Structure 1
Amino acid sequence: MDEKRTLFGMELPYFILVSAITAAAMYLGYLPKGMVGAFPVMIFMGVILNVIGDHAPVIKTYFGGGAIVCIFASAWMCWQHLLPTGTIKVITSFMKGEGFLDFYIAALITGSMLSMNRKLLIKAAFRYMPAILGGVAVALGLAGFIGAVSGYGALKAVLFIAIPIMGGGMGAGAVPLSQIFGAGMDASPEKILSIMVPAVALGNALSIVAGGLLDRVGKVKPHLTGNGQMLRAYDAASEENSLETQQERDTWDKIDVKIMGVGLFTATGFMIWGILISKLFPSIHYYAWMILSVALCKAFDLVPSSICRGCYQWFQFIMKNFTAPLLIGIGVAYTDMGTIVQSLSPIYILLVVATVLGAIIGSGLVGYLVGFYPIEASITAGLCMSNMGGTGDVAVLSASHRMVVMPFAQISSRIGGAFMLLLSSLILQIMK
């Protein structure tokens, strides 16, 4: 099958046929409620808008490509009343009342963390995590300082701009953060997310540009970079032993539909566990409890490899098939274009710049102190925190010509993003 003539794995005529039937049901007012109606609408809109974003030159290079287009275009369509009210209600109910957002996040957190190499996870906590913490501290501090002196508000700048930028993108960052803040501050998650979304998009764009600039700095100041080598005292054997072999990865990538069911059961089980713990300790959001539980289970090797593999395959299925539809749901149910337009201002953009700059400075300095080359530390522990998750990692590392450090970038996106959710819960608890 010619992939250039397919969409969503379907030959183009069939995709158009199913999409046309769905669109007819939407505008005639016959779209069924629940997932039966929501899925086809979100899939056909998500696939089309994702393709547009991934092929728009400036958008695909600097603004996250299809992810941004899915969110903003669908939100704009709602704002301009181009989507039927009934369709908006079906999608909103599916995202909120029927829990599709939690369903997606459960797969994302469980699958991404349980599929990490255990040795790399433990090793990261002792050496790489300080570099991440350095970047986070300076990014939040600088944004808070500028927010205070500008009159924007230090706490507002940190909570609604700096933390979302450093939080791991949209699906694993801004969206759960808006839920955590909404619950902790008794505020509307929709309005909070509308402030966060442009910050995440701008932060991603600046991170990609900064990756290219750091590569140039490395050429001018070669003593600051290892040209893709992280450690100044490099131990190739140790590095090799800390990573999974290609043979192991090939085994995990062999799809087994039955074991994917194990992943579904485990992911939702971890989510329920997080909810139960949050009932005993309600000051911390159940996402945070879930993340802690998954990380500890992986670190202490409490989950059998077969279950980890199932969670990985379920996570891959969800991520590859439902990310674009989820972003449509975020645009429709959680993104208020009116609030976004009102929030953009010169000081807002300055705060985004300060956050990304702080991530570069903090991670570079601390990374150097723990034995990394500062440019590699700034790119992985800094910019791969301030970009938009996995797609942002690829863009930043491509711009900086350092794809070889992708395992460290993934630690930033997975563990670093999870850490920001935990940090947010703690900050909200301190505020009370």
Structure 2
Amino acid sequence: MSTVTLQEKQSYRIMGMSLPLFGIVTAVVLIATYMEVLPKGMIGAFALMMVIGAILNEIGSHLPIVKNYLGGGPIVIIFGSAALVTYNFLPETSVEIMSNFMKGEGFLDFYIAALITGSILGMNRELLIKASIRYLPAILGGVVAALGLVGVVGAVIGYGAKEAILYIGVPIMGGGMGAGAVPLSQIFGSSLGVDPGEMISVMVPAVALGNAVAIVVAGLLDRLGKAKPYLTGNGELMELKENQAQVKEETKEKEKKATIDLAMMGRGLLLAVSFFVLGSIIGKFFPQVHSYAWMIISVAIVKALNILPREYETGAFQWFQFVMTNLTGVLLVGIGVAFTNLQQVIDAFTIQYVLLVAVTIIGGVVGSGIVGKFVGFYPIEASITAGLCMANMGGTGDVAVLSAADRMKLMPFAQISSRIGGAFMLILASTLLKIFI
């Protein structure tokens, strides 16, 4: 009688593992979790987050309505992980391990560094140059439409146009929590003569709920792109003319032929973290702009000037693909555990408040999509990057939105929205306060 291995026993797989093998791995990790002997640091964090992410992704990928209209696996991973923490299904020690891995040990920065460096260096050079020049108008179109629409609806339903713009519209479009709501609360507090802590308590529900709505809308836009193919570039931001389309196909062929090289991926890893460090150095001298933005600018300049040999660009691109393929689930669990306060989202659910948050997101999507189309972008990609990535919760929101929309390669443009666009919103908020007060 032949021996049946765990790998041969089942054809259905999770993370490439047969069900029996994945079940054993899951049991080991969960036993350690509830015995509170899960190793601290990246070992324990990776083990638990990969297991949770894989399970929740399977659930989200098979729920009929969720998988087709609400973003599928990614949205279930984020809010499912947040629910595990909110309702105390996980021991506090394991929550601390995962939260510290995301925040204290910088896994979010590590992930975003790989995505930004690899996706920019893997882009077509001509496309990068042309798209960057046209991107700011798409952001402005989204911001104007979002603030205008929420102001009109706020006035109509009795909430107040000024209040809707300042306390809901601006925080949502402001670049997230750390780079948006926190500095905005300081600006509002000093201008209005109130405690910034009081202002941030007003803004946090808008930012949190806006982030949740943006993730859902991202999934819906992906669904719309499948139904209306002429609206989307399937991950390409800019509409390509015939000669550019040929370049695009040639680039794809090169990527297909590029054999995975482990040493080359190691060089890609080094390039990713080095560009992140460079952004931090420049940010030290010019703190008005976030270090992420300086990293994007640095990588884009290197790509535009064609400084790096092709093999290094390929290495960075392959490292980006590895990280995106294997570690996105881990990151989404971290977003749910460390950055998503489910109770704040739930508490904000009044009909009036949800309506104003929703119209802000809709305004951002429609405005950026229309202007994006006008300047030569695909409307859905413009709406996702210049619209939703202005309206989500910064870096974590970018990952969640792009994952829900299945367009992770647009991370550089998403980060431009969150960082440079977020800085623009701080200036705009100061101007609006002077007008309204």
Flag whether TM exceeds 0.5 (same fold). yes
Does the aligned pair in 1 maintain the 2:119–2:411 contact within 8 Å? no
Does the aligned pair in 1 maintain the 2:266–2:315 contact within 8 Å? yes
Partner residue in 2 for 1:293: 298
Counterpart check, 1:179 vs 2:190: no
Question: Hey, what's the Cα distance between the residues in 2 that align with 1:244 and 1:47?
Answer: 34
Question: Hey, what's the Cα distance between the residues in 2 that align with 1:53 and 1:415?
Answer: 27
Mapping for residues 274-313 of structure 1, pairs under 5 Å: 274-313=279-318
Query: Secondary structure of the residue that 2:27 maps to in structure 1?
Result: helix
Partner residue in 2 for 1:150: 159
Aligned with residue 55 of structure 1, among 62, 69, 76: 62
User: What does the per-residue CA deviation read over 1:315-344, in whole Å, with 9 as the maximum and x for residues that have no partner?
Assistant: 111111111111111211222222111122
Question: Hey, what's the Cα distance between the residues in 2 that align with 1:320 and 1:127?
Answer: 30
Deviation at 1:413, TM superposition (A): 5.4
Partner residue in 1 for 2:420: 422
Aligned with residue 331 of structure 2, among 326, 331, 345: 326
Question: Hey, what's the Cα distance between the residues in 1 that align with 2:231 and 2:41?
Answer: 52
Question: Hey, what's the Cα distance between the residues in 1 that align with 2:233 and 2:301?
Answer: 30
> Match of 2:77, as an amino acid?
C
Deviation at 1:429, TM superposition (A): 5.5
Counterpart check, 1:121 vs 2:128: yes
Cα distance change of structure 1 residues 266 and 140 upon mapping to structure 2, 3 Å threshold = farther
User: What does the per-residue CA deviation read over 1:238-295, in whole Å, with 9 as the maximum and x for residues that have no partner?
Assistant: 442366433212134x211111111111111111111111211222221122122222
Cα distance change of structure 1 residues 13 and 131 upon mapping to structure 2, 3 Å threshold = same
Deviation at 1:348, TM superposition (A): 3.5
Query: Secondary structure of the residue that 1:116 maps to in structure 2?
Result: coil
Question: Hey, what's the Cα distance between the residues in 1 that align with 2:55 and 2:251?
Answer: 37
Aligned with residue 112 of structure 1, among 91, 116, 119: 119
> Match of 1:263, as an amino acid?
G
Partner residue in 2 for 1:40: 47
Mapping for residues 136-147 of structure 1, pairs under 5 Å: 136-143=143-150, 146=153
Question: Hey, what's the Cα distance between the residues in 1 that align with 2:105 and 2:247?
Answer: 44
Question: Hey, what's the Cα distance between the residues in 1 that align with 2:425 and 2:134?
Answer: 24
Deviation at 1:418, TM superposition (A): 2.1
Deviation at 1:379, TM superposition (A): 3.0
User: Which segment drifts farther, 237-246 or 61-70?
Assistant: 237-246
User: What does the per-residue CA deviation read over 1:126-166, in whole Å, with 9 as the maximum and x for residues that have no partner?
Assistant: 456644543443234433554577245423323443456xx
Does the aligned pair in 2 maintain the 1:117–1:243 contact within 8 Å? no
Aligned with residue 88 of structure 1, among 77, 83, 95: 95
Deviation at 1:197, TM superposition (A): 4.7
Cα distance change of structure 1 residues 423 and 365 upon mapping to structure 2, 3 Å threshold = closer
Partner residue in 1 for 2:322: 317
Query: Secondary structure of the residue that 1:307 maps to in structure 2?
Result: helix
Question: Hey, what's the Cα distance between the residues in 1 that align with 2:418 and 2:279?
Answer: 17
Does the aligned pair in 2 maintain the 1:107–1:264 contact within 8 Å? yes
Partner residue in 1 for 2:381: 380
Partner residue in 2 for 1:203: 214
Does the aligned pair in 2 maintain the 1:364–1:378 contact within 8 Å? yes
Mapping for residues 239-258 of structure 1, pairs under 5 Å: 239-241=245-247, 244-252=250-258, 254-258=259-263
TM-score under structure 1 length normalisation: 0.78
> Match of 2:352, as an amino acid?
I
> Match of 2:380, as an amino acid?
I
Question: Hey, what's the Cα distance between the residues in 2 that align with 1:274 and 1:27?
Answer: 40
Deviation at 1:181, TM superposition (A): 2.9
> Match of 1:248, as an amino acid?
K
Question: Hey, what's the Cα distance between the residues in 1 that align with 2:101 and 2:231?
Answer: 48
User: Which segment drifts farther, 204-213 or 356-365?
Assistant: 204-213
> Match of 2:243, as an amino acid?
A
Aligned with residue 161 of structure 1, among 162, 169, 172: 172
Q: Which runs of 5+ in 1 are unaligned?
A: 165-176, 220-224, 395-408
Question: Hey, what's the Cα distance between the residues in 2 that align with 1:418 and 1:101?
Answer: 17
Does the aligned pair in 1 maintain the 2:143–2:364 contact within 8 Å? yes
Percent identity reads: 38
Cα distance change of structure 1 residues 53 and 365 upon mapping to structure 2, 3 Å threshold = closer
